[in-house]
Structure 1
Amino acid sequence: MKSLLIAVPVILLLAVVSVLTGVGSLASGLDGGRGWLLIVESRVPRTLALMLAGTGLAVAGTIMQMLARNRFVEPSTAGTAESAALGMLMTMIFAPTLPVAGKMAVAALTALAGTALFLKILRQIPLRSVLMVPLVGIMLGGVISAVTTFVAYRYDMMQSMGTWMSGDFSGVLRGRYELLWIAFALTLIAYVTAARFTVIGMGEDIARNVGLDYNKVVTLGLCIVSMVTATVVATVGMVPFLGLIVPNIISLVVGDNLRRTLPLIAATGAGLVLACDIVGRMIIAPYEIPVGTVMGVIGSVVFLYLLLSRRTHAS
């Protein structure tokens, strides 16, 4: 609780900085002029989108780690994000006039299929090591990404595919981010069912012994992860490694009880994405570095550190 009380003011401060940061000047006044229009139409929607995406992906990564029983799994290391991008590409080719909500639904279905395939592959690997699980996920994601790239190249849609995987919030305006509230609603569902996911993380046998319907809880978790990932990919593109590093950091500090840690995980995810976006806007101003790029650099370093430290402890 103390950590959450510290995190909330920090997030609010980052949100204010995000609203005030940008190329457009607010000096024209807030009395109905251009400054107010800039805030209402661009800055506030962008800040909300950053917070909603960060919250959703951090929680989705936590649930996926519980389902796979591995700390190094999240949507970008399990083929989920790549499957969502493949679904988006299919809708652009075969149903280009489909509304954004429809495209998101198709992306959610393909993400669900990709995540279920990942978990099924894990079940076929006996005595899997800690490092084997993310390796399998990265390989599966690479295969799906290769198929997506081939199809996108064949239909001259490489630029669109890059947009779905870049995690770029520069184009967020009012009316173009509202689907991310679905991710927030799913986060609330995850919090309500957090105790079940905590038990699932202990293993199938323990879950069945305490009376849980293992298959139903896993299905619920897969649906939450897939829909959150598809929503974010369809709106702003994927932000890699966020769902990996945030749950690991919070677990080291607070523990693994999701009912207690999930609000802090959500808040930390939102704050981290806000911070990455502010950094991306300031490094080479007036140009921007996408959030996905900044997060990819930070996340890859933390990912390697976690892998090496776990390997050191294991030896």
Structure 2
Amino acid sequence: MKNIFSLIITLVFTTISFSQQKVLFHGKIANRNSDVLYIKGNNTIIKEIKLNTEGAFNDSFETKEGLYQMFDGVEYADLYLKPGYDLDLKMDAKQFDESIKYTGKGEIENNFLAQATLNESTFNYNELLAADEANFNKMIEAKKNSDFQKLESAKLDSNFVVLQKQNIEESLFGLKQYYNQKLAGKKMDNLKAPSFDFENHAGGKTTLESLKGKYVYIDLWATWCGPCRAEIPFLKELEKSLHDKNIAFVSISTDSEKDHEKWRTFVKEKELTGIQLYADRANMDFIKAFNVNTIPRFILIDPSGTVVDADAARPSDPKLKEQLAGLLQ
């Protein structure tokens, strides 16, 4: 299972054009999550590989040299593909990242990626994000130097090293953006929350003032946002467990105007609970006040309209349940 920050940080995978020899890719996956593997590059499916009843597969395809992702259901692994590679994969999907093992031409780079994923899962991102600004910058620089040193000390393809260094820098840049958003958002703590007046999926409009007297837990999301959708089951469970408490759960869609009907359909088909609102582009002051530049984003407001937490924990985070339990006694 990937670290939660792999849901927050977007990695930009760059490809380099070379001759169009085929990549050979075969292997066997025990306890597979799906009957089809999807190879994606830049969020586009470039190859679907069917598995047999025993989880074995054997395929070949043309692609440019570069970094890709292999999806087995909701799980994924990073891949480095190059024309002429002949990779064999052995894996147990019940221990997805821990069990990945490649052999054949291209094994060194891909086993390096598999190990890098395991290393990332042990890195203490919570400590990093809790640090003050000076220590955060020191820790970021130390992580970059450590990751670069591992790359340079291994005997890896030179093009792979270039791409992986770029990914490391893109990842750390994304992390810095997230940290800066948290700092900016926290300036709203203990201040009166700005108002909103948004379309309600159930009809009419809803204002923040209409919810006065209750705690308000706000989810800023969009239908296109994978990490946002991943939080939906946890949010539903939280709403159900606190349905008789003094709290309103408000989901505010930030979908573009062209996706307005997509939002309405999504809410209905997914049977989303709570108060479902749509933030039209002419009325974005509430979102701008909290300096929102990444989603999902969660905000907690008290019954008087004061911001308790401008960057609240996610529904999937046990800390949120603890916080709400203390407030809703």
TM-score range, shorter chain: under 0.3
Could you say which structure has the greater relative contact order, defined with CA pairs below 8 angstroms and 6 or more residues apart? 1
TM-score (norm 2): 0.22
More strand by share: 2
TM-score (norm 1): 0.22
Which structure is larger by alpha-carbon Rg, 1 or 2?
A: 2
More helix by share: 1
